[in-house]
Chain A
Amino acid sequence: MEIKVVRNILSANEQIAAKNRKLWDEHGVLAVNLMSSPGAGKTSLILQTIRRLRSIMRVAVIEGDIASTLDADKINKEGVRVVQVNTGGSCHLDANMLSLAIDSLPLADIDLLIIENVGNLICPAQFDLGEHKRAMIISCPEGDDKPYKYPLMFTTANVVLVNKIDLLEVLDFNIVALEVAVKGINPQAPIFPLSCKSGEGIEAWVLWLLAERENCKEFYDSL
Chain B
Amino acid sequence: MAITQSMLDLALEQARKAQAKQVTQINLVIGEMSGVVCDSVEFYFNILSQDTIAHRASLSFQQIPIQLRCRRCGTVFSPSEPPWACPSCRQWDAEVVTGRELYIDSIEVE
Contact = CB atoms under 8 A, between A and B. Distances in A.
A12 B109 contact: no
B27 to A, nearest CB: 8
A11 interface: yes
Contact of A184 (B28, B83, B100, B103): B83
Contacts of A185: 68, 84, 94-96
Contacts of A7: 10, 14, 103-104
B102 A1 contact: no
Contacts of A127: 2
B18 to A, nearest CB: 6
Interface string A85-106: 0000010101000000000000
Contact of A152 (B79, B92, B100): B100
Interface in B1-29: 1-3, 6-7, 9-11, 14-15, 18, 20, 28
A151 B2 CA distance: 21
Contacts, number: 98
A4 B82 CA distance: 38
A10 interface: yes
Given A5-B107, A151-B33, A126 B96 contact: no
B51 interface: no
A5 B14 CA distance: 8
B106 A2 contact: yes
A56 interface: no
B82 A9 contact: no
A46 to B, nearest CB: 25
A105 to B, nearest CB: 24
Interface string A173-213: 00000001101110100000000000000000000000000
Contact of A10 (B71, B102, B108, B110): B102
A42 B6 CA distance: 28
A125 interface: yes
A13 interface: yes
Contacts of A8: 102-103
Contacts of A9: 3, 6-7, 10, 28, 102-104
A155 interface: yes
17 contacts: A1-B18, A1-B109, A2-B108, A5-B10, A5-B104, A9-B10, A9-B103, A9-B104, A10-B6, A12-B9, A90-B2, A126-B3, A148-B79, A152-B33, A184-B84, A185-B94, A187-B93
Interface of B: 1-3, 6-7, 9-11, 14-15, 18, 20, 28, 33-35, 66, 68, 71, 79, 82-84, 92-96, 99-100, 102-110
Given A8-B102, A90-B2, 17 more contacts: A3-B20, A5-B14, A5-B106, A6-B104, A7-B14, A8-B103, A9-B102, A10-B6, A11-B10, A90-B1, A122-B35, A126-B34, A148-B79, A152-B100, A180-B83, A181-B82, A184-B92
The 10 closest A-B pairs by CB, nearest first: A148-B82, A184-B92, A5-B104, A122-B35, A9-B7, A8-B103, A4-B106, A9-B102, A152-B33, A9-B6
